[in-house]
Amino acid sequence: MRTLVTGGAGYIGSHTVLQLIEAGHEVVIADNFSNSRRSVLPRLEELAGQPIPVVEVDLCDVEATDRLVAEGGFDSVIHFAGLKAVGESVEQPIRYYDNNIGSTLSLLKAMDRHGVRRIVFSSSATVYGATPTLPCTEDAPTSATNPYGWTKQMIEQILRDTAVADDSWRIGILRYFNPVGAHPSGLIGEDPAGIPNNLLPYIAQVAVGRRERLAVFGDDYDTPDGTGVRDYIHVDDLAAGHLAALEHLGASDTPVDVWNLGTGQGTSVLELVHSFERACGHEIPYAVAPRRAGDIGSVFAAVDKAHAELGWRATRSVDEGTASTWKWQSQNPTGFPED
């Protein structure tokens, strides 16, 4: 199968590209490097043991995206490309709507025009909103509390409407819980620009000495130790979930479907800190701070649907997530080399 991977230079995309190649797919990466570095590419080629075609393109460019799909000979697309920082989306809503929705529309137009109607889309547990029933099941009502979340919600709706209008589409919506971890080589991993918003990259930067201490956002939630509980899924398990979804779509009669990609297990902030301490062999300084606006106590996935229908489940532990993150961060204290 020949697969276009949009956003394939990014964190989750890069790990998925490697597994696609290992499974015998031909892969083409399309990325505009707005949130990734070109220096990931030689590392990916080294790990894959083969050249990987890359097209530098902004998917909001309708003509360029049309050309890419017209000339690519693709059987399927995995659509990772998008902006993902919640706080930034509140400050720059137009940019987020423009980029995330604009890129998806030009991609879908090109795919439709050229008869490539198989796509896996990166959605998020953020669509379960501010008051989820736990564990989050795929049929739960969805909502959004910020522009980033609205883009996921809206793109899901666009995809469902597309499948209703033309049942030759095969669309898989994957709702990721909290991705963590890195490739076992330590050559690729998560490299956020600026101050990390998410917990594990922040802990990793404290561990490597780039930041003084972690602020634990609240210790008075209704959770076993009072700190927030999330479902941390290893990025290599996530990547495997994409392969399972692609394969499923190839044999499916259902034009559109949705699956959670999570572990089903909750881990608290302090449990993740302690796991990281075991990985790096020293203490992670932290201080309890007020709750972060918009946060909730616990979120974790129902995982039965993905297991029953995709034959997939997460197999890697939280400790493997923190250990591989430490390997990546300690080998690359300042992330990927600058382009």
CA-CA distance, 204 to 330, in Å (whole number)? 9
Query: Per-residue x/- mask for ligand NAD, residues 220 to 259, rule CB under 6 A?
Result: ----------------------------------------
Contact 98, 143 (CB under 8 A): no
Which of ligand UD1, ligand NAD, none sits in contact with 58, Cβ below 5 to 8 A by type? Answer: ligand NAD
DSSP 292: P
Which of ligand NAD, ligand UD1, none sits in contact with 81, Cβ below 5 to 8 A by type? Answer: ligand NAD
Of 197, 252, 317, 330, the one binding ligand UD1 by CB under 6 A:
197
Which CB sits closer to ligand NAD, 9 or 214?
9
Contact 81, 192 (CB under 8 A): no
Residues 217-256 that bind ligand UD1 (CB under 6 A): 217, 228, 230
Residues 136-195 that bind ligand NAD (CB under 6 A): 176, 179
Residue 97 a catalytic site member: no
Cα separations in angstroms, 3 against 20, 26, 63: 9, 6, 20
CA-CA distance, 80 to 9, in Å (whole number)? 10
Residues 20-39 that bind ligand NAD (CB under 6 A): 31-36
Query: Per-residue x/- mask for ligand UD1, residues 101 to 140, rule CB under 6 A?
Result: -----------------------xxx--------------
Which among 132, 115, 104 is positioned nearest to 30, based on CA atoms?
Answer: 104
Establish if 92 lies at the interface with ligand NAD (CB under 6 A): no
CA-CA distance, 195 to 198, in Å (whole number)? 9
Which CB sits closer to ligand UD1, 223 or 317?
223
CA-CA distance, 176 to 179, in Å (whole number)? 7
Which CB sits closer to ligand NAD, 61 or 226?
61
Which of ligand NAD, ligand UD1, none sits in contact with 292, Cβ below 5 to 8 A by type? Answer: ligand UD1
Which CB sits closer to ligand UD1, 59 or 299?
299
Residues 118-147 that bind ligand NAD (CB under 6 A): 122, 124
Parallel, antiparallel, or unpaired: how do β-strands 2-6 and 232-234 relate? unpaired
Number of H helices, E strands in the chain: 12, 13
Cα separations in angstroms, 329 against 37, 116, 242: 16, 38, 25
| Cα angle for residues 77, 78, 82 (degrees, 5° grid) | 120
The interface region with ligand UD1, picked from 208-216, 247-255, 258-266, 321-329 by CB under 6 A, is 208-216
Reading the block at residue 191, the tokens are 């490299």
Catalytic residue selected from 148, 176, 221, 232: 148
Residues near ligand UD1, by CB under 6 A:
86, 124-126, 149, 178, 197-199, 202, 214-217, 228, 230, 269, 292, 294-295, 299
Q: Which residues are catalytic?
A: 148
